[in-house]
Amino acid sequence: MNQPIRLTVNGELVTAAVAPRQHLADFLRETLGLTGTHIGCEHGVCGACSVRLDGAVVRGCLVYAVQADGARVDTIEGVSDSGEIADLQAAFATRNALQCGYCTPGMLLAAQELLLVNAAPDRETIRDRLSGNYCRCTGYHAIVDAVEATARARAEAKR
Amino acid sequence: MSEGLSPLDRPNSYIGRAVPRPNLARLLQGRGLYVSDMTLPRMVHVAFVRSPYAHARIAGIDAGAARTAPGVVAVVTGAELAEVCTPWVGVLTHMKGLKSAPQHAIAVDRACWVGEAVAAVVATTRAEAEDAAALVEVSYEELPVVADMEAALAPDAPAIHPDLGDNLAFERKLDAGDVEAAFASADAVAQAEFVFGRHTGVTLEARAMLADWNPGEQRLTVYQGTQAPHMMQNIIAKHLGLEETQVRVVCKDVGGSFGVKVHVYADEMATAALARMLRRPVKYVADRVESFLTDIHARDHRCKGRIAVNRQGDILAFEIDDLTAIGPYSMYPRTSAIEANQVVNLVGGPYKTPNYRARARVAFTNRNVMCQYRAVGHPIACSVTEGLVDLAAREIGMDPVEIRRRNLLPDDSYPAQSASGMKFEALSHHAALDKLVAMMNYPALRAEQTDLRAKGIYRGVGLASFIEVTNPSAAFYGVGGARISSQDGASVRLDAQGAVVCHASVTEQGQGTEAILAQVVASAVGATLDKVRIILGDTDHTPYGGGTWASRAAGIGGEAAWRAGVALRENILKVAGVMLQADPSALDITEGQVIDATGQARVGLDEIARVVYFRPDTLPADFQAELIATRHYAPKAYPFAFTNGVQASWLEVDIKTGFIRLLGHWVVEDCGRILNPQLVDEQIRGGVVQGLGAALFEKCEYDARAQMLNANMADYLVPMASETPDIQIGHIETPTADSMLGAKGAGEAGTAGAAAAVVNAVNDALSPFGVRLAEIPLTPELVLKALGVVL
Amino acid sequence: MKSAAFDYVRPGTLEQALQILSERAEGARVLAGGQSLAPALNLRLAAPELLVDIGGLAQFRYIEEGADALRIGALTRHVDVERSEIVARRCPLLSRAIAHVAHPAIRNRGTLGGSLALADPAAELPACMLALDAVIHVAGPGGERRIAARDFFQGVFETALRPGEVLTGVEIGGLGPDRTYGFAELSRRRGDFAIVGLALAARRSSTALSDVRLAFFGVADRPVLARAAASALGAGDMSAARAALATDLKPVSDAQASSAMRLHLAGVLLERAFNETLEASA
C-alpha cells in the first residue's frame, strides 16, 4: 500500500504517496522527473544514483523513498542550480573529466563531499574516496585531475 | 584560397586544439537525455522471462497467473512474437564458411543460453512486469549443455544446432612465407599458450529502447542508445516487415557503448515488435543482471603461439593456433567471427617478419553470445605477438626495447604490407618507440628495478607495440552483404543569424563527436565555434551513414563534415562575391567575417544570411544562393587506415600475496592528424583502463553447466579509481593522405595494447623466478601458483 | 531489477519495534541502514512481507567512552565511527578497519548494528568485535541479553539473534594504554569484501605481547579466532604462529581463492599485522 511522505527536495517541499518498494532514485526520476540521478546497477555498487540525504551522499538505490520521509534531499539538479559546485563542474569541463556523462552526477556529488571533508586531498586520497563511483569511459585520470584542480583553486580563493 | 589548403594552415582553425565539448555543460548538470530517462504517453514497460538453463526445450508456458496480475497488459511468447518479427541468421558472405542458425527475438521452442528470453511480460510499471514475470510458469526439458570451447569441438560433442552438423562456426587458415624453413633455421624458438578471459563491456547505462508504433502514421519511432541508427532502421524494418521509411531511429545521449550497443539484440527486437503488436510505446531498460547475461561478451580465446628468432635478434616467424567460442548464435548482422578473423589479420602486424602461419577456429557453446567489443581482436593479437616477442628476447638475452627496434617495420618502408596481407599506408613504430622510451625514462626504471630487487621488491617494465584498424572501408561489412554503411554524410547550412548547423550521420557516445564535428565545421566554414551547432542521431534528419564503430567517427564523419563545410564556405563566398562585387576566389571567411585578400573584414555571415533569406530581391536575378551543402565520404585508397603505437606498463608484484600494483602507464600513439588532442588523450586513457580491466580483473565466470556465476557488479570486477594509475600520453602525427583532414581513428588504441604491456611487465618483474604467465586476468592466485607459493 | 512489494513501518520506539516483530515474526525484517538488505531486495534474493525500519531510533546512535570501555549504539553509522575522535583514541583498531568497509556513500548510511546482525563472514566489523572480545547487546520479547562476540556469529548470515530480537549496541571492554592492534586485509579492489582479513588485538608489555586475539575473516562461514597462532605469537614465535594457522584455520575455497591460498595469505597478513603492532610501539 502506498504511504504518504513529505520531504524537501532541492529546497522544495514535496508530498507524495509512494509504494514502499520504490527506491529513492526511482522516486526522484519517475515521480519528480529529476532524471539527473542515474541508475546503473540498483544493487549499490556503481554510484550513478548518488544523491545527498540530509547532507550525506548515499546510494539512491539503497534507500527507499519512504525512508526519506522528513528528510532533505539534494540532487545534481539542485546543486547545479544553487551554484554550489559550479567550480567543480567547470573543472570537469576544462579537463574533459566525463565522456558519456552517465556517472557524472554521482561522481560530482562524491567529489564535492570529499572536498568538504578534506580540502587538500592528494591524488591517492581522491582515488580512494571516489573508489565507489564507477566510470567506464575516462579511466579516472582526468577526474582526479579535475578534483585536484578544484581543491587547489578553492584553497587559493580562501587565501 | 584553395580547397586543398591544409586545415592547419587556415586562419582561425580549430583543428588540433583542445576546444571544450558543446554537450558537457548539460551532462554536468544532470540535464542529459538518455533513453532510460524518457517517458511517452501510454508507455508500458517490458520485462522478460529468461531461461535459467543453458540449453533446454521449452515444453510449455503457462501465463495464466501472469496475465491477471496487477498492471499486466500482455504476456507474449516466442511463437506469438514470431508472427510479427522474423528470425535472422548472423552470417556474412566474405567470412567464408561461417555458419549460424536462425535466432528469434524470443526463443520459440528452445533456449540456448542462460538468460535467453522465453517470454515477455508487458505492464504499466517495470516492477509490475517483474512481479508478473515471476508468475509465468515455463516447463523446460533440459538438453545436453556444451559448456566450453574445447568440449564444443570434441568429436562426440552434441551439435547445439543439429542442422549445422557440428559446433564449428568458422575456421580460417593462413600460411605466408616459409614458416617451416624459418623455424628450422632458428637459433631459438619460444612458445606459450595465451589464455584470455571472457569479458563484457559494462556500459554504465544499460541497453535501453523505447519503441513507439503510431498506427495513424503507420510508423515506428525507436529511441535507442545505439552506435548505428541507420543500421538499426534497416534491421528493424526488415524483420518487422516494414519499409525503412516507416522506421525512425532516434539516438539521444548514450550512457557508454564500447561496441556493446552496435549489435542487434533479441530483446530489443522484441521490444520493437511488442510496440507494434500493442500499438503503444513500450520501454525496455535492461537491469544489471540482464546486462551481464545478454550484453555481448568478448575475447575468451585460447591461442597457442610460437616464435622463431636468430641469435642476432631477428624474428624469423610467427605461428598461432587460436580457438574461441561465441555462444549459441553468431550475432547479427556483424557476425561473431570477426574477432578471430582479426586475430589472424593482426598477429605479427607491427613487424617485418614475412613468415606467418595461423589457424583460428570459432565454436558454438551454450554461453551468452559474443561479438565485437572495443578493439576487436587487437588485445589478443597484441598480447600474443608481444608476449612472444618478449619470450624470444628472453631466450636470446636481448633487451625488449632492442628486439623491437630490430624488427619493427622501419618508418621509411611504407607503403608496406604485413605477412597477413594488411596494407599500411604509413606508420611510425620507431618514432613512437623512441618517444616512449624517453617519456618513461626507460634506463632510470631499469636502474630502479635493479636497486629494489636487492631489497626484495619486484617491479617490472612491459612494452607492447601495436597496430590498430581504423576508418574501415566497405571491406569490413559491406562486401559481405550487410547493410552497414561504411560511408558517412554531413549537411552544413548557414542559419538566418549567421550560425552554422551541421547534421551528421556519425553519433556521439561520449567520445566527443559533437566537439570534433563542431571544430571541423567551424574551421572549414570560417565560423567561430560558438556559432556552430551539431545535430546527430536521428534517421529522419541526418544524412545516411554508418555511425560510431571501429574508430571511424572522426576520420570518416569528420572528413564528410570538413568537405561539407568547405563546400558551404564556397557557396557563401559566391554570395559575398555578388554582394561585394568581388571575385569569390579573392575572399575568405574567418571568425564569421568575410575578409578580402588584405585581411580586411568586409561582411559578416549574419549579414549574408539576412540578405539571402530576407532580401533575395537585392541579389541578381540570375543568381540563386545555396546556403546548405552536403557531402559524404568513404575511405577508398586503403581497406583500413591503420594506426600504430606502443604502450608501457610499470608495476610491482607482491610476491607474498600475488597482488599487482600498477605504478605507471605510458602510451605513444599515431592517429594521423590530431583534431583535438584532449579528446584523443582521453579516448586513449579510457581505452587503456578497459585493457587494464582485462589484464587484471574482468572475467565472466561460468560453471560446468554454463551458468554465469558473477552476473552482478559486485562480483564482476572492473578497475575503479584506486586500481588505476595515471596514464601519460605522447603522439606522433602521420596523417593519412586518403582524406583532406588526414585523421585516423583513436578510440581503441588504448584497449589494444594495455593488457599486453601489463602481462609483459609482470613477467619482467618475476623474471628472477623464471615465471612466464600468459593468462589474463592475472589474478593473485595465478601469480602465486606461477611462483609455486601455492599449488 | 525492482524489489518485490513489501509493507513498511517505522516504529517510534524500540518497544513498538519489538511489538511489531513479535506479531509479524515470520516475514518481517529489521531495516537499519539497509546497505546490505536493499541490494538483496532489489535483486529479489529476499522478499520479506514487512520491513521494520528502526533507523529513526536516534537513541541507538551514540559512541560513549567509560573508564576502560567503549559503548557504541547499533544505529551508529560507519561514518560516525570513521570520524570519531573517541574511537581513534580509545580503540584505533575500529578506525583502521572501518576505512575498509565498502565506500564513503555506503559508510554514510550503513550501521554498526546492521553489519553485525548481517554477519557476512568476509566483513570487517564482526571480526573486529571478535578480536576485541566485545559484548553484543540485544533486546527482544524476553528482555535484554548480552552475548559475547565469540558466541554471536554462528554461520553465513547466521547469528545468535532469536526471532523478534534486535541488536541494540556493543560494549568493548578492557581498553587501556597497554592495548595494541593490528589490521590487515587483502581485497581485489578498494572497498571490496576481503579474500582474507585479520583483526589483531593484544596487550603490550615492554618485552612481549599478551592476551593476543587474532580474528580472521573471509576464511570460513564466520570470523574465526586463531587460538594456537595467538599463543605462539604471545610466546614471541612468529614462525610457530604461522605454522599454527594450519590447525586454527580450515579456509574455504571459492572463485576468489583456494583454501591453500587463503591459508598462505593468512600467514602473510599475520606477519603484517604483527609488524604493525611493533611499529606502533616503536
Contact: A139, B686; criterion CB under 8 Å: yes
- Other CB atoms within a 10 A radius of the CB of residue B189 amount to 18
Where would I find the beta strands (DSSP E) of chain A? Answer: 3-9, 12-18, 50-53, 56-59, 72-74
The architecture that CATH gives domain B375-472+639-786 is 2-Layer Sandwich (3.30)
Q: Using a CB–CB cutoff of 8 Å, tell me whether A50 touches chain B.
A: no
Q: Where are the domains of chain C?
A: 7-53, 58-172, 179-281
Which three-class secondary structure string do you get for B416-472?
EECCCCCEECCCCHHHHHHHHHHHHCHHHHHHHHHHHHHCCCEEEEEEEEEEECCCC
pLDDT of residue B12: 73
CA A66 to chain B, closest CA, distance in angstroms equals 17
pLDDT digits (tens, 9 = 90+) for B552-596: 999 999 999 999 999 999 999 999 999 999 999 999 999 999 999
Q: Say whether B78 sits in a helix, a strand or coil.
A: helix
Please provide the distance, in angstroms rounded to a whole number, between the alpha carbons at the two ends of chain B: 72
Pick the CATH number of B35-143+206-254+260-294 from 1.10.230.10, 3.90.1170.50, 3.40.50.720, 3.40.50.11540: 3.90.1170.50
Residues ≥6 apart with Cβ < 8 Å to B443 = none
Among C8, C43, C106, select the one facing A66 at the smallest CB separation.
C8
List the B727-731 sheet strands across, edge first: B458-468, B643-653, B660-670, B727-731
Cell triple for A144: 582526479
Q: Using a CB–CB cutoff of 8 Å, tell me whether B720 touches chain C.
A: yes
Same CATH topology for B7-32+487-633 and B375-472+639-786?
yes
CATH 3.10.20.30 residue ranges for chain A: 3-80
For residue C188, which residues of chain B lie inside 8 Å, CB to CB? 697, 717, 779-780
The architecture that CATH gives domain B7-32+487-633 is 2-Layer Sandwich (3.30)
Residue B727 phi, psi dihedral angles, 5° rounding: -125, 120
Q: Mean pLDDT throughout C192-209?
A: 92
For residue C31, which residues of chain A lie inside 8 Å, CB to CB? 67
Q: Using a CB–CB cutoff of 8 Å, tell me whether A65 touches chain C.
A: no
Q: What is the DSSP code string of B306-343?
A: EEEE-TT--EEEEEEEEEEE--SS--BTT-SSHHHHHH
Q: Are strands C28-31 and C50-53 parallel, antiparallel or unpaired?
A: parallel
CA torsion C116→C119→C124→C129, rounded to 10°? 50
Instruction: Provide the pLDDT confidence category of residue C278 given band limits of 50, 70 and 90.
Output: confident
Comparing B550 with C183, the larger pLDDT belongs to C183
CA distance C31 to C11: 11
H or E segment to which residue B46 belongs: strand B44-50
pLDDT digits (tens, 9 = 90+) for C78-125: 999 999 999 999 999 999 999 999 999 999 999 999 999 999 999 999
Among C189, C190, C255, select the one facing B709 at the smallest CB separation.
C255
Q: Return the bridge partners of B109, or none.
A: none
The number of angstroms, rounded, from the C-alpha of B393 to the middle of its chain's C-alpha atoms is 32
CA distance A88 to A150: 6
Query: Which class is C179-281 in CATH?
Result: alpha beta
Q: Return the bridge partners of A64, or none.
A: A23
Which parts of chain B have pLDDT scores under 50? 1-5
In terms of C-beta density within 10 A (0-12 exposed, 13-18 middle, 19 or more buried), how is residue B385 classed?
buried
Which parts of chain A have pLDDT scores under 50? none
Contact: B713, A41; criterion CB under 8 Å: yes
Candidates B382, B418, B206, C238; CA nearest to A48 is B206
Among B23, B28, B256, select the one facing A137 at the smallest CB separation.
B256
pLDDT of residue B3: 44
User: What CATH topology corresponds to C58-172?
Assistant: 3.30.465
Cell triple for B601: 573584414
Contact: C264, B790; criterion CB under 8 Å: yes
pLDDT of residue B7: 52
For residue B510, which residues of chain A lie inside 8 Å, CB to CB? 98-101, 137
Q: Mean pLDDT throughout C243-257?
A: 95
Q: How far is CA A33 from CA A65, A102, B288, B686, in A?
A: 14, 16, 22, 31
Q: What is the DSSP code string of C68-105?
A: S-EEEETT-BHHHHHH-HHHHHH-HHHHHHHTTSS-HH
Contact: B204, A128; criterion CB under 8 Å: no
pLDDT of residue B223: 98
Quote the DSSP letter at residue B408.
B
pLDDT of residue B11: 65
Q: Say whether B702 sits in a helix, a strand or coil.
A: strand
Q: Say whether B517 sits in a helix, a strand or coil.
A: helix
Closest alpha carbon within chain C to B719:
C189
Pick the CATH number of A85-158 from 1.10.150.120, 3.40.50.2300, 1.10.1040.10, 3.90.1150.10: 1.10.150.120
Quote the DSSP letter at residue B20.
P
Instruction: Provide the pLDDT confidence category of residue C206 given band limits of 50, 70 and 90.
Output: confident
CATH 1.10.150.120 residue ranges for chain A: 85-158
Contact: B657, C265; criterion CB under 8 Å: yes
Q: Using a CB–CB cutoff of 8 Å, tell me whether C43 touches chain B.
A: yes
Q: Is A3-80 assigned to CATH 3.10.20.30?
A: yes
Q: Are strands A56-59 and B219-224 parallel, antiparallel or unpaired?
A: unpaired
Question: Helix crossing, B442-454 with B429-440: angle to 10°?
Answer: 50
Q: Are strands B137-142 and B282-285 parallel, antiparallel or unpaired?
A: unpaired
Cell triple for B670: 599515431
Q: Say whether B774 sits in a helix, a strand or coil.
A: coil
Residue identified by cell 548510511 is: C109
H or E segment to which residue C170 belongs: strand C166-172
Q: Where are the domains of chain B?
A: 7-32+487-633, 35-143+206-254+260-294, 375-472+639-786
Q: Using a CB–CB cutoff of 8 Å, tell me whether C45 touches chain B.
A: no
CA B696 to chain A, closest CA, distance in angstroms equals 15
For residue C255, which residues of chain B lie inside 8 Å, CB to CB? 701, 709-710, 715
- Check: CB of residue A58 under 8 Å from CB of residue A51: yes
Q: Using a CB–CB cutoff of 8 Å, tell me whether B130 touches chain C.
A: yes
CA C166 to chain A, closest CA, distance in angstroms equals 19
Q: Say whether B225 sits in a helix, a strand or coil.
A: coil
CA B584 to chain A, closest CA, distance in angstroms equals 38
- Other CB atoms within a 10 A radius of the CB of residue C176 amount to 10
Chains in contact with C via at least 3 Cβ–Cβ pairs below 8 Å: A, B
Interface A-C, measured as beta-carbon pairs within 8 A, has a size of: 89
For residue B128, which residues of chain A lie inside 8 Å, CB to CB? none
The b/e string for A126-149 (b: 16+ C-beta within 10 A; e otherwise) is: bbbbbbbbbbbbbbbbbbbbbbbb
Q: Are strands B188-196 and B301-309 parallel, antiparallel or unpaired?
A: antiparallel
Interface test with B, best of A18, A140, A148, A150 (most B CBs within 10 A): A140
Candidates B416, B395, B225; CA nearest to B316 is B395
Contact: C261, B780; criterion CB under 8 Å: yes
Contact: A102, B713; criterion CB under 8 Å: no
- Check: CB of residue A51 under 8 Å from CB of residue A109: yes
Contact: B726, A126; criterion CB under 8 Å: no
Closest alpha carbon within chain B to A43:
B713
Contact: A114, C41; criterion CB under 8 Å: no
Candidates B420, B481, B440; CA nearest to B98 is B481
Q: Using a CB–CB cutoff of 8 Å, tell me whether B782 touches chain C.
A: no
pLDDT digits (tens, 9 = 90+) for C124-159: 999 999 999 999 999 999 999 999 999 999 999 999
> In one letter, which amino acid is B413?
S
Contact: B717, C188; criterion CB under 8 Å: yes
B471: left (phi over 0), alpha (psi -120 to 50) or beta: left
User: What CATH topology corresponds to C7-53?
Assistant: 3.30.43
CA B125 to chain A, closest CA, distance in angstroms equals 10
Interface test with B, best of A45, A100, A109 (most B CBs within 10 A): A100
Question: Helix crossing, C227-234 with C238-248: angle to 10°?
Answer: 170
